[in-house]
Amino acid sequence: MRAALPALKWRAFGPLRKLSSRLEQARHDEALASAQTAVAVRRDIAEANPDKVPELASALHRLSYELAAAGRRDEAVAPMEEAVAIRRRLADSDPQAFLPVLASSLHNLSLLLAAQPPRREALAPIEEAVAIRRRLCESDPTYRRILADSLEGMSARLSHTGRRDEAVAAAREAVSIRRTLAETEAGPFDAELARSINELSVSLREVGRHAEAVAAIQEAVAIQRRLAKDEPQRFQSDLTVSLANLAVSLSSAGRRDEALAPVREAVTIGRRLAEDDPERFLPDLARSLNNLAVSLREVGERDEAMASIREAVAMRRRLAAVGPFDPDLAVSLNNLASLLGDAGLVDDELSAALESVAINRRLADAEPEAFLPNLARSLSNLSLALRDARRRAEELAFAEEAATIFRRLASTEPDAFLPDLAKSLTNLSDSLAASGRQDEAMDVVNEAIEIRRRLNERDPNLYGTDLDHSLTLRDRLSGASGDC
């Protein structure tokens, strides 16, 4: 299989990134110094002349932006919070003049808070921004575009806090606004519509509405394919994101054979883009390679899948060394562990699974709403790796932990997590049986069967195989216990 990049470019990537970072840092330092001076000057002026307080808020807003651009996001929060406080007071006395800029500062504050734990604090400001921009739209429809921006931000924040049904509703509203805009002026709004539909498809998939997710992402791909044909340099990257998302959605909907074509296309485009601009496009290529490995494994092409996932892990390991890509690395390590288990490489499987759990546990400790599902999935994979290594006691402990997490998640979001719960219960039942706890194993697999029966009634094509697996396990347990 072709390497992600020529070796020379891989070797050059680090030094080039460092040089680019130094030049970028010099520009940020200059802009930041200017912004800091502006805040100091405008603060002195505002203390002497309260009518100049709006200019202080503007300077604080800019300072926050420059701090974030320089990678100092933690420090960027305080000046944005001060800008919000000032603009809130101003909007109380003159809403027509200051509500728009208050909404802007609230939107940006949410973005800053979303980049650091606990991300749940990012929800309140974006909800307020949405409320303000709805109000502004009532008297001035030109605010619809930025309302859609805030709705998309709110959808992401709701998803991070586990309120995924509400996230779908916000994403749908954003798509509706952008569709109306695109109907009136196609050019600048088609790309925004496609990105918005893409995000809606992810939200739909997260709540288990797989057929709707596929339909949505197919529409986004069609729009972006047309845009990329006319302006390839500008839109090919967006197309690869949607193609990769289409592959995941098709696979999640049980249409695994169909998932291969779009993800292969995403990898092909991604390689070409990453060869020209690795700093910008390697993360997208790594994601496509990861998704290709998953799709290949699902159709039994394990050798090619192994090559693809090893490439994705290597790429994401390099990226994680210089940026915030730990969650992506954990996902690829989890997929690598599964493929290594298929190949009977038990020691390597266990090593990859342990590393994935360690990363996800650290992330989930800081942001449980966002990362508990990934932790639970990696715990399930680790239990399987320990089973292959015949470390039964440890296997059972991790299987129990995974099932406990999924039970909690499914209690609040059944559409999203009941399939995961049923899978983890089936795995736990097998682990209990291997530890000689037959009665408990039977109770647990019966619970899994009950869940999978309900899921199968909803979509036999998607859940029928899973139900058969749990029923087969129960038959095996019944035979082992001598039941009729």
Provide the pLDDT for residue 117: 67
**Cα 182 to Cα 217: distance, rounded to the nearest angstrom:** 17
Read off the pLDDT of residues 52-106 as tens digits, 9 standing for 90 and up.
999 999 999 999 999 998 878 889 999 999 999 999 999 999 999 999 999 999 9
Helix axis angle, 95-114 to 144-160, nearest 10°: 30
Residues sharing a CB contact under 8 Å with residue 349, sequence separation 6 or more, in sequence order = 337, 338, 340, 341, 385, 388
| Alpha-helical runs (H) found in 161-209 | 164-184, 186-206
Give the per-residue pLDDT at 16.
44
Q: How many alpha carbons fall within 13 Å on the CB side of residue 116?
A: 11
CA distance 238 to 175: 17
214-221: average pLDDT = 97
What are the backbone dihedrals phi and psi of residue 483, each rounded to the nearest 5 degrees, phi first?
Answer: -75, 155
Would you say domain 403-484 falls under CATH 3.30.2030?
no
pLDDT band of residue 3 (cuts 50, 70, 90) is: very low
The reported pLDDT for the residue numbered 25 is 58
**N residues, the chain:** 484
Look up the pTM and report it. 0.75
Residues 372, 376, 379: CA angle, nearest 5 degrees: 135
User: Does residue 4 register a pLDDT over 50?
Assistant: no
Q: Where are the domains of the chain?
A: 25-105, 403-484
- Choice among 12-21, 299-308, 320-329 with the minimum mean pLDDT: 12-21
Q: Which of 320, 325, 331 has its CA nearest to residue 294?
A: 331
368: confidence class by pLDDT, cuts 50, 70, 90: confident
Question: Does 20 have pLDDT greater than 70?
Answer: no
Contact between residue 425 and residue 418 where contact means Cβ atoms under 8 Å apart: no
DSSP annotation of 117: S
Q: How many CB atoms lie within 10 A of CB 342?
A: 14
Q: Is the pLDDT of residue 156 over 60?
A: yes
Mean pLDDT of all residues in 385-400: 93
CA distance linking residue 386 with residue 11, whole number of Å: 36
pLDDT value, residue 467: 93
Choose the weakest-confidence range: 218-222, 236-240, 304-308.
236-240
Q: Comparing 207 with 227, which gets the higher pLDDT?
A: 227
* pLDDT over 90, % of the chain: 76
Written as one string, the DSSP assignment of 244-274 is: HHHHHHHHHTT-HHHHHHHHHHHHHHHHHHH
**Angle, vertex CA 205, rays to CA 203 and CA 209, nearest 5:** 110
pLDDT at residue 175 in the model:
98
Q: Running DSSP on this structure, what letter comes out for residue 391?
A: -
Contact assessment for residue 126 and residue 84, using Cβ atoms and an 8 Å cutoff: no
Of 338-352, 358-372, 443-457, where does mean pLDDT reach its minimum? Answer: 358-372
Q: Looking at residues 251-262, what average pLDDT do you find? A: 92
